[in-house]
């Protein structure tokens, strides 16, 4: 961008356009709307269950019937999509992760129930083995190594089961090499041509995921760490190479994860590719803000909305955020 031509002070006074809400609105460069929001939700077994996640104040694990109610509320607020994450019974976690592609697993049951009750809301699902893996990893583990190609075969089966259940957007979060191409080919071959792929293309091996792992019950199961397949937080150019590959393999949308600590990556991705770009305001970001809100250290409404606006300013087309319902209500009043 070239420098705009402007006169010297006092002919140019930047405060002129800031003097009222009306003039500030006229020159505002970035806008946040409810259509930018995707709400991540956690589904668990049972009936009538709403179980608080201790490390994520205000966030619940919900049984399928309660997830349907939540989806209906989200739709009424104008939120266009929700993203499902299952809290899998530990007895169903195995080394072969077969529950991941069970047509009647929690994620698939919730998808069908929501589609029947709230057909107008888009459903995003997660493709990775960690909720079903006795080792807590996103892929198969053999002798301490996370296997890439064998994992992709399982991810294809998982994604097809989700598409058959009615998922609109499939989000591969595993970070295995080559999985986008394999998933796209399988979806096309099996007739799921309109199912979107939102690739977790630049997913970092971050310390901000801890509360999420509590929410899905993966914390205790995880053996080791995920640094051999998730990105090094020190790398930026690598993110662009990963995004380019995933777009070439058939991703419709790409995601940067985590969010606020990686706004520079969001901007680079959007400027480099112009593709639909999303960020995930992850559990650790949400938890630390909530802690500050509850202690009275930060203004909850102001900081929540400011945090979401930063993603839009960085070039994101949308944000996955646990604040989605609160932000939607706030936007409706603005």
Active site residues: 203, 257
Q: Please enumerate in sequence order all residues whose Cβ is within 8 A of that of 3, keeping only pairs 6 or more positions apart, or say none.
A: none
Q: Which pairing describes strands 37-44 and 60-63: parallel, antiparallel, or unpaired? A: parallel
| DSSP-based helix, strand, coil % in the chain, nearest 5 | 45, 20, 35
Helix (H) or strand (E) holding 200: strand 196-203
Query: What b/e sequence results for 127-164 when a residue is b if at least 16 CB atoms lie within 10 Å of its CB, and e otherwise?
Result: bbbbbbbebbbbbbbeeeebbbeebbebbbebbbbbbb
CA–CA dist 77, 274 (Å, integer):
29
Cβ–Cβ < 8 Å for 155, 145: no
Does 98 sit behind a cis peptide bond, omega within 30 degrees of 0 on the bond before it?
A: no
Helix (H) or strand (E) holding 302: helix 300-313
| Residue 325 phi, psi dihedral angles, 5° rounding | -65, -45
Cβ–Cβ < 8 Å for 55, 98: no
CA–CA dist 216, 130 (Å, integer):
9
Look at the alpha carbons of 258, 263, 264, 270 in this order and tell me if their dihedral is positive or negative.
positive
């Amino acid at each position: 961008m070239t420098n705009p031509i402007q006169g010297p002070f006092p002919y140019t006074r930047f405060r002129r356009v800031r003097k009222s809400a009306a003039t500030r609105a006229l020159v505002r460069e970035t806008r946040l709307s409810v259509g930018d929001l995707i709400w991540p939700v956690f589904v668990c077994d049972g009936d009538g269950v709403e179980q608080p996640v201790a490390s994520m104040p205000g966030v619940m694990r919900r049984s399928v019937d309660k997830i349907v109610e939540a989806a209906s509320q989200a739709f009424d607020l104008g939120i266009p999509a929700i993203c499902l994450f299952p809290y899998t019974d530990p007895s169903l976690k195995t080394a072969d992760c077969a529950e991941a592609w069970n047509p009647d697993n929690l994620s698939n049951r919730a998808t069908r129930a929501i589609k029947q009750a709230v057909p107008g809301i888009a459903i995003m699902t997660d493709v990775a083995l960690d909720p079903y893996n006795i080792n807590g990893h996103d892929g198969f583990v053999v002798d301490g190594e996370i296997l890439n190609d064998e994992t992709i075969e399982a991810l294809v089966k998982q994604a097809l089961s989700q598409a058959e259940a009615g998922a609109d957007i499939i989000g591969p979060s595993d970070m295995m090499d080559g999985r986008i191409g394999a998933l796209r080919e399988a979806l096309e071959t099996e007739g799921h041509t309109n199912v979107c792929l939102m690739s977790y293309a630049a997913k970092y091996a971050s310390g901000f995921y801890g509360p999420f792992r509590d929410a899905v019950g993966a914390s205790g199961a995880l053996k080791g760490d995920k640094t051999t397949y998730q990105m090094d937080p020190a790398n930026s150019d690598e993110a662009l190479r990963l995004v380019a590959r995933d777009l070439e393999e058939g991703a419709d949308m790409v995601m940067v994860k985590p969010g606020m600590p990686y706004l520079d990556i969001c901007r680079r991705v959007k400027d480099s590719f112009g593709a639909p770009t999303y960020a995930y305001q992850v559990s650790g970001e949400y938890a630390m803000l909530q802690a500050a809100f509850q202690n009275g250290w930060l203004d909850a409404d102001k900081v929540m909305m400011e945090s979401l606006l930063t993603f839009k300013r960085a070039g994101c087309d949308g944000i996955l955020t646990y604040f989605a319902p609160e932000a939607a209500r706030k936007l409706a009043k603005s």
